[in-house]
A and B are shown apart, each in its own frame.
Chain A
């Protein structure tokens, strides 16, 4: 059901680079799973509202009160490339 071009397109959307072997396997496996899943499209669901939330809660809001948060250096500690100025370092987007 899913051809190679579709798999490549979806992989690009998901920011995944698949090897040739992965690409072939993925096409076969996803097609097999989708074939099973397709069955739900046979149901008559025309007037059924989609579920947006399983419990009855509406518009949960809180007061916008300022309060202490994680310190910047604490939040940056797990980063692969924390920058002294206080940010996440990344390679240049222009390099592409």
Chain B
């Protein structure tokens, strides 16, 4: 295997800065692999390295970046995995992508995703499903399944995605990589094609915790184009912690007990990780999040409600697809939307429109926003006694392609452990904790708002102790490079 591909992004950046690696060679090594992708992870790959001087002295040192399709990138296709944005090349670039480019990470390609980020398997993409490099008959998770599969298979050194109800953490878990959802407002949402505006956050998908910290450090910050973005109160540091002494971990019965349907292999890996954490000096105790079992219901009202409003803009007027109806303007709207949106997106628009419609607003959307208040209170109470709340990231390992496509509710249950955090706006990270039947399992840590540095430190200590080997997935990517 190409030696460059085996380096983590942080290690590659360090060697570029030390003049041991030519960043042009690094870009081309990944470009060739991404272009030969046979996992359907990429929807667009840069035809060549960016022109001009390589930013060898920039913090990210020319290490190329894969970007989820829904980030607007000037002049480069940005369809959010949807037919309705066919041919759309935005006239501007999302702030987060621009920040990373300025820090020295050139755009390697755009990655496949569930349409408008609605899905947990990447099977709702207009570009077709993405294959999991650990087992090509299985899903990579979603919505940014392409970003997760690309990083796991070594088709990209690192990637960014967005998390609304678990979208960064769940595919990271299913592909055996690290995924971090930052505190709401930490990263600008400007230029991210919106799904649910009160939940959406951008974050890194990386091979290890150090890479996640390095990428996040250059993503955060207030942006005057997103009034919900905030100045991050401290610099994101490279994590160095090697133990967890004094760290109190809370295990919520509501998310880890029988109700969540956690698979035996996932449970085993979770418990082994708790034992490791104790070995590193952490205390592990049960805690309560009484309203967490209702998070999924609240989420599946709030997110579709916001989506139904956000997706109203896709009407054939300003961008993308237009299907002319027989009968004027309104018919054009309906025809365009009916042809342009896929089944899951229509389902969520319908659900959201219903939840907001006259006579049902209080019963559904209003109630869900109250549940959200209770969920945030539960976390605040728990964080008085615990540093972090820990759960399995996903109750299951990667499932077979097609296994859950006929049952939307079964698919939604996959988000059981990941939806409470975005509802409360708090950060959470997923790291690989081992394999179950040859498939990666994710371990999730959630902390209070703006605790990213502490989260990264704890994840770093655990990652070292676990010593997860992600190289089998990269060998799968190797066949792609040859193909």
A residues engaging B (CB < 8 A)? 2, 6-7, 9-11, 13-18, 22, 26, 29-30, 32-34, 36-41, 43, 45, 48-55, 57, 60, 62, 70, 74-75, 77-81, 88, 90-96
Are B409 and A81 interface neighbours, CB within 8 A?
no
Given contacts A36-B409, A55-B185, contact A79 B317 (CB under 8 A): yes
Chain A contacts of B370 at CB under 8 A? 43, 45, 48-51
Q: What's the minimum C-beta distance from B266 to chain A, rounded to whole angstroms?
A: 22
Given contacts A40-B294, A51-B376, contact A14 B409 (CB under 8 A): no
The count of A-to-B residue pairs whose CB atoms sit within 8 angstroms is 173
B99 at the binding interface (Cβ < 8 Å): no
Chain A contacts of B90 at CB under 8 A? 78
Are B315 and A54 interface neighbours, CB within 8 A?
no
Given A53-B228, A78-B88, A78-B91, list of 17 further CB < 8 A pairs?
Answer: A2-B354, A14-B337, A26-B346, A33-B412, A37-B297, A48-B370, A48-B374, A50-B373, A51-B376, A53-B198, A54-B198, A54-B424, A77-B91, A91-B324, A91-B332, A95-B329, A96-B331
Are A78 and B409 interface neighbours, CB within 8 A?
no
Chain A contacts of B337 at CB under 8 A? 14-17
Chain A contacts of B334 at CB under 8 A? 15-17
Are A10 and B353 interface neighbours, CB within 8 A?
yes
Chain B contacts of A45 at CB under 8 A? 367, 370-371, 374
Chain A contacts of B316 at CB under 8 A? 80
Given contacts A91-B332, A93-B330, contact A30 B351 (CB under 8 A): yes
Cα distance A40–B291 in the bound complex, in angstroms: 10
Are A79 and B319 interface neighbours, CB within 8 A?
yes
Considering only CB atoms, which chain A residue lies closest to B88 in the complex? A78
Are B350 and A14 interface neighbours, CB within 8 A?
yes
Chain B's interface size range is 35 or more
Cα distance A29–B321 in the bound complex, in angstroms: 27
Are A16 and B322 interface neighbours, CB within 8 A?
no
Are B357 and A16 interface neighbours, CB within 8 A?
no
Considering only CB atoms, which chain B residue lies closest to A94 in the complex? B328
Chain B contacts of A95 at CB under 8 A? 327-329, 331
Given contacts A62-B224, A79-B319, contact A50 B366 (CB under 8 A): yes
Given contacts A33-B351, A37-B300, A54-B424, contact A70 B92 (CB under 8 A): yes
Chain B contacts of A40 at CB under 8 A? 294, 297-298, 301, 367-368, 371
B449 at the binding interface (Cβ < 8 Å): yes
Considering only CB atoms, which chain A residue lies closest to B341 in the complex? A16
The contact sample of 17 A-B pairs, CB cut-off 8 A, is A16-B338, A29-B408, A33-B351, A37-B301, A37-B364, A40-B294, A43-B294, A45-B371, A48-B374, A57-B228, A70-B91, A78-B91, A90-B329, A91-B329, A93-B329, A95-B331, A96-B330
Interface residues in B322-380 by Cβ distance below 8 A to A read 322, 324-325, 327-335, 337-338, 341, 343, 346-347, 349-351, 353-354, 357, 363-364, 366-374, 376
Considering only CB atoms, which chain A residue lies closest to B354 in the complex? A10
Interface mask (B287-316 → A, CB under 8 Å = 1, otherwise 0): 000010010111011000000100010011
Interface mask (B265-303 → A, CB under 8 Å = 1, otherwise 0): 000000000000000000000000001001011101100
Cα distance A10–B357 in the bound complex, in angstroms: 8
Are B373 and A48 interface neighbours, CB within 8 A?
yes
Q: What's the minimum C-beta distance from B294 to chain A, rounded to whole angstroms?
A: 5
Q: Indicate which residue in B321, B327, B347, B376 contacts A54 across the interface (CB closer than 8 Å).
A: B376
B184 at the binding interface (Cβ < 8 Å): yes
Q: Indicate which residue in A14, A57, A88 contacts B353 across the interface (CB closer than 8 Å).
A: A14
Cα distance A75–B368 in the bound complex, in angstroms: 37
Are B91 and A74 interface neighbours, CB within 8 A?
yes
Chain B contacts of A60 at CB under 8 A? 227-228
Are A96 and B328 interface neighbours, CB within 8 A?
yes
Cα distance A81–B184 in the bound complex, in angstroms: 37
Are B300 and A33 interface neighbours, CB within 8 A?
yes
Chain B contacts of A11 at CB under 8 A? 350
Cα distance A13–B360 in the bound complex, in angstroms: 14
Are A75 and B376 interface neighbours, CB within 8 A?
no
Considering only CB atoms, which chain B residue lies closest to A6 in the complex? B354
Are B409 and A32 interface neighbours, CB within 8 A?
yes
Chain A contacts of B24 at CB under 8 A? none
Cα distance A52–B197 in the bound complex, in angstroms: 12
Q: What's the minimum C-beta distance from B123 to chain A, rounded to whole angstroms?
A: 16
Chain B contacts of A51 at CB under 8 A? 369-370, 372-373, 376, 423
